[in-house]
Structure 1
Amino acid sequence: MTSIWHIIYIGGIFMTAFLFILLISKSKKNTADKILSVWLFFAFFDLILIGLYGSRQIQKMPALFGWEMPFPFLHGPFLYLYILFVSGQQRHKWLYLLHFVPAVTVTMILAFVLPVAIVEYKEKYYFAREYDTLIMVLVAGFMISGVTYIILSFLLLRKHRQNIIGQFSNTEKITLNWMRYLISGMGAIWIVVIFDPNPAVFFVVITLFIFFFGYFGIQQVGIFSHTRPTHEVLPLNELETAGKILQGDVTPELVEKVKYEKTRLEESEASHIHTKLNTIMNEQKCYQDPQLTLGDLAKILDVHPVILSQVINSKEEKSFYDFVNNYRVEAFKELLVRPESRQYTILSLAFECGFNSKTSFNRNFKKITQMSPSAYAKKQQITLKAEG
């Protein structure tokens, strides 16, 4: 281990401890925060063992030799559960403990094996040759575990993105970079482990990931800070439960879960909400608010957000995002033909209708009309002020 990497390694250990302290001192910790804090706790000790393993100093420490092997079985489950809870997709909390069965099993195996598997040679400790197969199985096991949980975490992220579209009318300012970087960083580590299992390289990559993890985590609002995120997403399980109620698939357990709704939402009631929704959208022009959310609209209608979501899905056959942006596009088309609009640019008219970015406006307009805004204006023989 060169001096520069020795400094980086020590810095990584201190960074892990610092992030752990930041997290446990955070007020009003949710379950995702607790999962992340426990993950950092184990990561702290894992980083120490990885450094000892990479520098081969662990071969001089029989009490620690071999105990670095259970930790790789922890990181995949912690990543998956953190993404699960931070995105609101959890269902059965206690069943998730089963994800840690492999790590516990490996720990129990090592507790019996290590006392007899370690041999000394020239004041250094090694595994006896007859245990090579066991070590190879454990290494293959945590590689499979790592890759599997990376894939599962990406699937959770994809589902979370769909959930956001169902609750927000503008998504440009809702960043999923923190989760994306976290999953990608873990994925990079497993790629290194699989293609270059050199212990020294492994500990360097892990250490760099800790700095990467800390940098983006501190930048992301609400991860290590006391500030609440600007955008909060309703748990996906609540939306799915409401969907079962609307379809008539009701059990006492579901009714208990959905406190706001004691009986199944009848078709007539859904139609009433749908009519009231379109009336309010036309009269109050709620779509002009670029920050409009499912929760905001539900509050105006005095219904629960999950009920409103299912009404929009079933009656409009659209997500909340598409529903609101369809209104914005239609409002833009109406505004475009007014003579007084000639003094404005296309983008300023789009902002007037509730869009909050040029990218969002162009994408949604083309999705709905099959042409760009400028092409549509040209087709209508309308010339607006050029963009400055």
Structure 2
Amino acid sequence: MAAFFEQLSLIIANAGIVLGVFVTLLLTSKSVRESRANLFLSILLLAMSFSILHIQYAGRVIDHFAFNVFSLGDPTFLLIGPLLWLYMQELTGHRTRWSFRLVLHFVPFLAVIFLSTTLNRFFSGSEALAFLGGHRGWLAISFWVFIVIQFSGYLYVMNKRWRAYQLLVEQEVSNTEHVSLAWVQFFMGVFLGILLFFLLVLLNQIHHGNSVWVWRTMAVIFSLSVFALGYKGILQKEIFHVDRTQPEVVPPAAPSPAPEPESPKSDPQLVDRLLRFMEDEKPYLDPELTLSSLAKRLNLSRSVLSQLINEGVGDNFYNFVNRYRVEQVKAFMNDPTMKHYNLLGLALEAGFKSKSTFNLIFKRFTGLTPSEYQQTLSI
């Protein structure tokens, strides 16, 4: 049985290496690549594939050379956190540019490689090297402590960035199906699992020392992660980016109106104008409605409209628009000419883009599911 699981883990690990390279080539091809974020995702998958390769074969290959390496730990683990951060930067619309600060993220990785390849070569026979050699256990523990701290730090900052970005999204779009929220949650979940395994390795290192099962299991976990991220990464659509290129004030086609007040929440005329426009023109029926497009139609700046909704109406843009959509669905349910539509059809007609979002939003504002609400109409 042990031989079976060993062969199975070897097959999964080797498949992870091959798949990681394949998905990298696929994500960077012109026919699949949709954004710069996919480029960083492909680099991340390639780094994980190289890590599997290093776990599986580095010892065997290095043993065939006279070049002696003083192992401080697997340096490829130190690449994952920075690459995760760069990927999240691209997903949330922060274009990555090469700079000195960017290089600092990779200093631990480069430092481990440098020290591993130079300690035996330049300090052979020294007391310091002998001391390090006699305390490899503590050296390994220190390495894994650093890995866990580094990885935890990157995941914490990424989660904080993503939560802030979600709030920004709800201030800009009225439908979030194309914002890849589920993809990011899945992505973060995978690497949270990897962090928990790193923590398990650290505890094993403290209490039992190095074990063969650790490396085999790590290769399998990395391979399964490559399978999952590669599959989901190919299928995921480009994440939404807030358009900041739009001028803050849209010039009117008619004669210039009076200047907009600095504090729109204090101007009831602007609030009334917005509410009348929503009732009369029904812009919420457009599933692609955004804050920027609505501002343009109202001849207001994006920032003024955002403040008007947030402070004058007391809601964010996402809830503001979808509340109208819910009311429209309720009106459709009472309209005899719409009886041939099912619930999903009514939702699509009202501006929703998916059944799941429709059900969630409808219950949020009414306390009932759409079918439950429809049943109350027939009583």
Which TM-score band (shorter chain)?
Answer: 0.7 to 0.9
Aligned position for 2:26:
22
Aligned position for 2:287:
290
Q: Deviations over 1:171-219 (max 9, x none)?
A: 3565433322322222222322322461121122112222222222122
Aligned position for 1:355:
352
Percent sequence identity is 29
Task: Give distance in 2, aligned partners of 1:383 and 1:342.
Answer: 13
Task: Give distance in 2, aligned partners of 1:91 and 1:43.
Answer: 21
Task: Choose which of 199, 208, 216 in structure 1 pairs with 2:232.
Answer: 216
CA RMSD after TM alignment: 4.0
Task: Choose which of 231, 240, 246 in structure 2 pairs with 1:232.
Answer: 240
Q: Deviations over 1:108-151 (max 9, x none)?
A: 443443436889xxxxxxx8224443332122101221233233
Q: Deviations over 1:6-25 (max 9, x none)?
A: 33333322222222323443
3-state SS, counterpart of residue 106 of structure 2? helix
Compute the displacement of 1:40 (Å). Answer: 4.0
Task: Give distance in 1, aligned partners of 2:7 and 2:342.
Answer: 59
Task: Choose which of 10, 13, 23 in structure 1 pairs with 2:14.
Answer: 10
Aligned position for 2:110:
104
- Which one-letter code corresponds to 1:354 in the other structure? G
Does residue 135 in structure 1 map to residue 133 in structure 2? no
3-state SS, counterpart of residue 267 of structure 1? coil
Aligned position for 1:169:
174
Task: Give distance in 2, aligned partners of 1:302 and 1:97.
Answer: 44
Q: Deviations over 1:270-310 (max 9, x none)?
A: 85765543333222211122343334424433556555434
Aligned position for 2:151:
146
- Which one-letter code corresponds to 2:322 in the other structure? N
Task: Give distance in 1, aligned partners of 2:7 and 2:370.
Answer: 59
Task: Give distance in 1, aligned partners of 2:91 and 2:215.
Answer: 32
Distance change in 2, residues 1:314/1:93 (3 Å): farther
Distance change in 2, residues 1:35/1:282 (3 Å): same
Aligned position for 1:319:
316
- Which one-letter code corresponds to 1:106 in the other structure? V
Q: Which moved more, 1:269-278 or 1:179-188?
A: 269-278
Compute the displacement of 1:345 (Å). Answer: 6.0
Give matches, 1:1-388, under 5 Å. 2-26=6-30, 30-52=35-57, 58=62, 62=67, 66=71, 69-88=74-93, 94=99, 95-115=101-121, 128-172=133-177, 174-196=179-201, 198-221=214-237, 229=238, 232-234=240-242, 260=248, 266-267=261-262, 274-303=271-300, 305=302, 308-335=305-332, 349-371=346-368, 382-383=377-378
Task: Give distance in 1, aligned partners of 2:41 and 2:329.
Answer: 45
Q: Deviations over 1:349-383 (max 9, x none)?
A: 4444333445434433443344555666677xx42
Task: Give distance in 1, aligned partners of 2:317 and 2:64.
Answer: 61
Task: Give distance in 2, aligned partners of 1:258 and 1:105.
Answer: 44
Task: Give distance in 2, aligned partners of 1:282 and 1:172.
Answer: 25
Asked whether the equivalents of residues 168 and 294 of structure 1 are also in contact (C-alpha less than 8 Å), the reply is yes
Asked whether the equivalents of residues 59 and 65 of structure 1 are also in contact (C-alpha less than 8 Å), the reply is no
Q: Which moved more, 1:173-182 or 1:43-52?
A: 173-182
Stretches of structure 1 lacking an aligned partner (at least 5 in a row):
120-126, 222-228, 239-256
- Count of residue pairs the alignment pairs up: 345
Distance change in 2, residues 1:47/1:310 (3 Å): farther
Task: Give distance in 2, aligned partners of 1:118 and 1:52.
Answer: 26
3-state SS, counterpart of residue 128 of structure 1? helix
Distance change in 2, residues 1:98/1:304 (3 Å): farther
Stretches of structure 2 lacking an aligned partner (at least 5 in a row):
126-131, 205-213, 251-258
